Structure 1
């Protein structure tokens, strides 16, 4: 494939006279900041100045971008995505238990390191194309050291900012009963990677090493060993699934269990936390999450459709718990964060309207604005991922992860408010420029580091190979076996 870096990147970029839409640390969680015209100066990897429009002078040889007809906004921070899963497809109609049985217990076992490379690369590029500049990547296909190495290679080549959370363990080592063995190869690989530069997988810190750990509670001694090792080696964040409910009872009460084991801290991100909306939930977990500083990664699009349960996104906001958004899997939902914002906001509005309607009343106003969903996908996501001091907003001193929207596009031409426009009307087609760490990775609507057509050819080839390897497998038999093993009550 073509070049994987951009040697002609300017050392400075001046964004001139754009309509700036961002939350800052001074803005309240449920406020709506005022969008305003501004210049933004990027030098190296950081934002060094913001000022009145046409007031900043560009340094010598700076790239000057006329943003008169553009919106300037922070890139999205996706707090939960299985990036490698761009190599698999066709899961849009599955339930959660069906996904576990057919993907985790069958299809994923046939994914090679070569497949992981192209899936990871395509997934990173899909994120960038849609204006997502940072991802918490729950990499649960770490079947070998080579799989991990290829995922890292692809992520670095893409230009995406990634907290690459290597799963330990990865996939089930037996099915009847289901069991996963922590691999010492994975442990040694983590130690080796962390030792190079304190968890930094690139010299500029754009890609860092995290841990995905879903085995907590099965072996307390191993839990203590693995989590303590991660913290000792500066492997952060640590992310885990918390779902519960009829489809995934084994993943319930996770905040409480981590706390009881002495493992809950502010470097943890729990994905979904839909268990907090299920019958028999532990209400005290909300306070555990708030006090510990642990974050929630909500993925409302697939949570609603697969059986995870009701999204708890806005309930977390009300209770003062850190929460961000994610897309989860490209094989199930959109690769863009725009639907995630809409699903989160409209679900909360629909819930509130129903509560009122059940009492024969009508809400006079919606409690949460479009801007609140924008915050969830930007600064809120950075807070949930524990990196709000570095990214998530456009402020002096922060890393330059910035998106420019075409305000004259078909979708946005008559939209005055960029917060509303980005949440309700925009798509990846409106994302004109993407800057990560001060580097232009999408320009005039086209990805810079890779030729997508070449990536697409390899993606289709490898995806076909994966399907061929398990085409003789009886997916329905595996699903029925899982239903029986976990004593799921299906209707």
Structure 2
């Protein structure tokens, strides 16, 4: 089989490598699925495909650390809901009506939507495991999209009242069969994780069982924590610490209303956090904790979360995360009748969260998250010729504050081009959107 050889020529590489910003005009050489060279004016032979990246930004693909992909057909349905309305309607009424075929189409659509916006890696937190067929369909949707990701095997979406309100039901042991049947290598694009309820949505003994199940299967374990009043009510981080359960394999989504000591515990144990700023602001989970996570040095990434309520674009989440944290710090200063002399968070900080930060959250930073020789060729090209981006004096700000999905010219995952010249390749988008509309209309009946 011929080797895949691609040269990205003449673009401006932006990447955070070893905590240092690379911002320079460089060529990037890809052989098969890996980056083999990054340098000035690389010369190649006729057997290389050359991508002209002049007037383009060359970036590592974005990493979405927390999204419920199965909700992709329901855009806008939850846009005016609180958290409790979301739990009662999306999980309480709609999830039980989803067929396995619906879940396949939803996951495929959601993953392709992510790819279109420059997201090359995703954590699918999948709480729609109604039957073994649903689980297989969700996994197949992810794999068929060509995205890199982690499949977070969650609980059934058959009864929110049984599974999510101080639940006493333990995580399905189907996880063991799923692990054996679908996930045989950590080198595959899609690997497995465990998406558990945790101490805010199940009782402590259940949370303990679920964490130990994840460790038995050698999986990353993700849960929601610190969501609005649930944070101080259940004091979940402290309970897990008392049980000696905190460790680096635990990922916590949100963490908006945990306390200062909780942040110290997470930092001390190497736990990670997924910030999903848009949904957190809408649904009353609390103010995003981006600044606190950075202050304590906790591995932190960004996520889209509830695609039925918020934008699926990492560009939007970066902007909201940045400006929300600036608003928090400005308000603190104002309350002391002062104004800040200097902003406390920069566009580079947030770009890091969307790339290498997210990769660290998912334990994949040895493979992805930055453009370095030997790493996987998960790369995006952003065209800066559009009036919305040009002229520009700051390319990092162009990415974080100005760019939109339509500015993503090229997406490459493991050296394979899946979007080029602004167009998705090899997907029947029309048929998929038709199926998604049918799923959405069914939910309204």
Same fold (TM over 0.5): yes
1:46-445 equivalences in 2 (<5 Å): 46-52=34-40, 54=41, 56-58=42-44, 61-89=47-75, 90-168=77-155, 170-172=157-159, 174=161, 178=165, 180=167, 182=169, 186-188=172-174, 190-196=175-181, 199-200=184-185, 204-216=187-199, 218=202, 222-235=206-219, 237-246=220-229, 248=230, 252-276=234-258, 282-445=259-422
C-alpha spacing 1:72/1:178, structure 2 compared with 1 (3 Å)? closer
Unaligned runs of 5+ residues in structure 2 are: none
Distance 2:205 2:29 in 1: 50
Paired residues of 2:108 and 2:141 also in contact (CA < 8 A)? yes
Distance 1:113 1:251 in 2: 36
C-alpha spacing 1:251/1:119, structure 2 compared with 1 (3 Å)? farther
- Correspondence for 1:24: 17
C-alpha spacing 1:215/1:76, structure 2 compared with 1 (3 Å)? same
C-alpha spacing 1:132/1:177, structure 2 compared with 1 (3 Å)? closer
Distance 1:308 1:177 in 2: 16
Paired residues of 2:381 and 2:410 also in contact (CA < 8 A)? yes
Paired residues of 1:70 and 1:404 also in contact (CA < 8 A)? yes
- Correspondence for 1:30: none
Distance 1:111 1:95 in 2: 22
Distance 2:149 2:276 in 1: 18
Give the drift of 1:258. Answer: 2.2
TM-score, normalization: structure 2?
Answer: 0.93
SS in 1 for 2:382: strand
Paired residues of 2:7 and 2:50 also in contact (CA < 8 A)? yes
Distance 2:19 2:74 in 1: 42
Give the drift of 1:124. Answer: 0.4
TM-score, normalization: structure 1?
Answer: 0.85
Distance 2:317 2:19 in 1: 25
Distance 1:155 1:454 in 2: 17
Cα displacement string for residues 148-189 of structure 1 (whole angstroms, at most 9, x for unaligned residues): 1001111111111110101035553656995756478x423x
- The answer to whether the aligner puts 1:14 opposite 2:7 as a matched pair is yes
Distance 2:16 2:217 in 1: 33
C-alpha spacing 1:239/1:59, structure 2 compared with 1 (3 Å)? farther
Distance 1:84 1:158 in 2: 14
C-alpha spacing 1:19/1:177, structure 2 compared with 1 (3 Å)? closer
Give the drift of 1:191. Answer: 1.6
C-alpha spacing 1:181/1:124, structure 2 compared with 1 (3 Å)? farther
Give the drift of 1:10. Answer: 6.8
Give the drift of 1:256. Answer: 2.0
Unaligned runs of 5+ residues in structure 1 are: 1-7, 28-32, 277-281, 469-491
C-alpha spacing 1:148/1:366, structure 2 compared with 1 (3 Å)? same
Q: Which has the higher contact order (CA 8 A, sep 6+)?
A: 1
Larger deviation, residues 384-393 vs 162-171: 162-171
Give the drift of 1:86. Answer: 0.6
Q: CA RMSD in A?
A: 2.4
Paired residues of 1:200 and 1:209 also in contact (CA < 8 A)? no
Give the drift of 1:245. Answer: 2.8
Paired residues, what number? 443
Query: Which runs of at least 4 in structure 1 moved beyond 3 Å after TM superposition?
Result: 168-171, 173-184, 196-201, 215-226, 248-252
